[in-house]
Amino acid sequence: MSSSNTGQSAGQLETRGIEPVPEGECNGHPQQLFWVWFAANISILGLPLGATLVAFRGLAIWQAIIVAILGAAGSFAVVGIISIAGCRGRAPSLTLSRAIFGVRGNIGPTLVSLMSRLGWETVNTTTAAFVLLSLCSILFGSPVEAKSAPLLTLVFIAIFVLLTLSVSGLGHATLLLIQRWATYVFGALNILVGGFLCATIDWSAVFNATPAPLSAMIIGIGTMAAGTGIGWANAGADMSRYQHRSVKAVRLVASAAFGAGIPLVLLITLGGLLSVGNHDLASATDPIVAIRDMLPTWMAVPYLITAFGGLLLSNNLSVYSAGLTTLTLGLKVKRVYAVVLDIIAIFAGSIYFMLIAESFYGPFITFISLLAVPITAWVGIFVVDLIHRHYYSPKDLLDVSPSSAYWYRGGVEWRAFGAWALAIVLGFSFTTIGTTEQDVWFRGFLSDSWLGHNGLGWIVTFLVAGGIYWVLGGAKDRRTALIEPAHA
């Protein structure tokens, strides 16, 4: 089947790496991006997010819906804003970031983004393998544990990463096609499972719930944003670089906000409904099992298939983006080989955490959640820069020598890099790092403030990074300033 967005077809190998896309191949439209973001967010793991709003923040369900709209859909509007840069510069997000931070200064944000991508992909992979083990337990009538069945565990990890490789490796055109049609299948399964979960809701408790104060809603918005759109922000331009030049910026923002927002708002709302009067889902160490236990046994099989599919659709997009980020670090290989390297890394990580390590989710998710602070700082600077930058020099984006317009001083744009570093330091000052209240690794000196106590340090990070960069004047590209800007 042909894809309307590139000179290639779905099923053909995308040979382009991080080099800007020629205008003749930029025929994409925002509806394609709508399905990409929709598919990446139909995972049933969105339910625990909504559960925390009700169980831990005490929100009434109408408050949870407002928080989901502002936090989840709103944060994906930021992803859409970064997509504008992809339409202007025709290159992946972290490649365009060279124009802001300098070809050397950009190494820091790129490394952080890659670690975050690989981290969440490992979470997806291990969770998917646990899903398949749980499915075997149902089908065979006895529990199947990872460490008691190492060969089966290896097979399940391999199945998931190979399925991911088959889509992410082939590239953009295949990704667009698979994400769209798989959305129909797994979206329908989500509706089916969600309908059965609705039967467990205590509706009288829902309608009688007491609203929480406004402060709890503000905290909830921050929690939802940090757990959804902020983590995807650095992938925005990766998908939009094939969009047609005539596409309006507002449509790019809408495609991300609505594409991700619709499934997230529905799933977060359902998670909140399930938690009224029952906090098991919000406090569960394994939300897959917690949700499975709410369903009749015969319904658990389609539920687990749904969970597996949602994780796979999210991983497809994440691994594709990680491959481009790997190339931005300077690795001189073809794009598909960069994807293979990322797949090998998450395969090895999943084996370690499932078969060797004593615990996984707590320490590991804590570590990769920490990366949200430098990523948020990068987003703040990138968005501010986008306000005045309408052109990215294709030649200079790929030139990592002192002759590049983006070399600045010693390869670093110090206003951007300095703002990024200062915002990270301040962000961690509001942060408490640990797996539990008892197991604290680090506590920032402002962590007991209202912002720190409620996990809103990332908002300070965003505002400080963008604010300092704005005050310092931003990275004006003098060599390309007179070239006619794009229309997006």
Start-end of H helices in 19-147 = 30-39, 46-55, 61-68, 74-89, 93-96, 98-101, 107-140
pLDDT computed for residue 285 by the predictor: 65
pLDDT of amino acid 250: 96
* Total Cβ atoms within 10 A of residue 11: 13
Can you say how many angstroms the Cα of residue 412 is from the centroid of all Cα atoms in its chain? Answer: 27
279 and 105 in contact (C-beta within 8 Å)? no
pLDDT of residue 328: 97
Low-confidence ranges of the chain (pLDDT < 50): 1-7, 477-488
Distances (CA, A) of 232 to 55, 58, 76, 96, 305: 26, 27, 8, 16, 24
Tokens of 50: 């909504």
424-459 per-position pLDDT tens digit:
999 999 987 765 666 777 788 888 888 887 777 888
The pLDDT, as a whole number, for residue 359 is 65
User: What integer pLDDT is reported at residue 237 of this predicted model?
Assistant: 96
Quick one: angle between helices 107-140 and 372-388, nearest 10?
130
Cβ neighbours around 403 below 10 Å, total: 9
Which pLDDT score is estimated for 436? Answer: 62
CA nearest 48: which of 34, 62, 63, 68? 68
HSE, side-chain direction, 13 A CA sphere, residue 414: 2
At 186, list the tokens.
């797994």
pLDDT, residue 476, reads 58
Share of the chain above pLDDT 90, in %: 57
Q: Tens digits of per-residue pLDDT, 290-346?
A: 888 888 888 889 989 999 999 999 999 999 999 999 999 998 899 999 999 999 999
**pLDDT, position 3:** 39
